Amino acid sequence: MFSSLAKLFQLKAAASVKLHATEICSECGSRLAQSNSPDVSETEWHCPNPDCPPQVLKRVIAWAEAIEIPGCDASLVAQLVQRGLVRDAAEFYRLKLSELESLEGCDAVRARTVWDGIQSSRKREAWRVLAGLGIPRVGANEARLLCQHFATLPDMFAANQMQLEQRTGVSALEARSISDWYGDPVNRRLVRRLQKAGVNLQC
């Protein structure tokens, strides 16, 4: 009796694993990956493709909000992403005024406001830049705290997990999230591209 019940549970567990393993992202067709976050009690599945359209949109909106670009609301950002004009934070700084003017609902006056806003966003405080990068667990509060302890964002990223924890008092999970994020060459390049675009990284 017990052994057959155990077997049934094993089969059920195996079936659910198999079901998830074959699930694909409805947006881009990538095979979903299992979340390895240590504090997620239930298994979570996510699309691992960083170029998956909803993820790109989410990241770009997060940047526009954190860095506060006047007149640049979610619908404008959606158009920029759909047209392939902006795929990440650094691409805002390559936008031409004429490209903004070509967007729906963006007349010359609004385009100018947004364009000026993008140019002046280079001078925002570094904690806004950090919060806008979309690092898991690093919102405005954590970003402010981290910036108090480093001279520049590149200095902060150069610190290892242990140093981040000890020096700033962020949690182990937050420190690990930052190290993991910066461990991705695409993200390291993004920070360099922002720096090259003249975005303020001085804390």
Q: Does 28 bind Zn ion (CB under 5 A)?
A: yes
- CB-wise, 28 or 151, nearer to Zn ion? 28
Q: Which is nearer to Zn ion, 59 or 176 (CB)?
A: 59
Q: Which of 34, 37, 49, 119 binds Zn ion (CB under 5 A)?
A: 49
Site for Zn ion contains 27 (CB under 5 A): yes
Binding mask 113-132 for Zn ion (x = CB under 5 A): --------------------
Could you tell me where the beta strands, DSSP code E, fall in the chain? 33-34, 45-46
| Distance in angstroms (rounded) separating the CA atoms of residues 28 and 18 | 20
Selected binder of Zn ion within 47, 56, 114, 190 (CB under 5 A): 47
Among 25, 114, 143, 194, binds Zn ion (CB under 5 A): 25
C-alpha separations of 48 from 21, 28, 57, 67 in Å? 13, 10, 15, 26
Q: Which amino acid is at 164?
A: L
Quote the CA–CA distance of 177 and 94 in Å, as a whole number.
29
CB neighbours of 71 closer than 8 A, spacing ≥ 6? 110, 113, 114, 117
Residue from 33, 52, 78, 145 in contact with Zn ion (CB under 5 A): 52
Binding residues for Zn ion (CB under 5 A): 25, 27-28, 30, 47, 49, 52
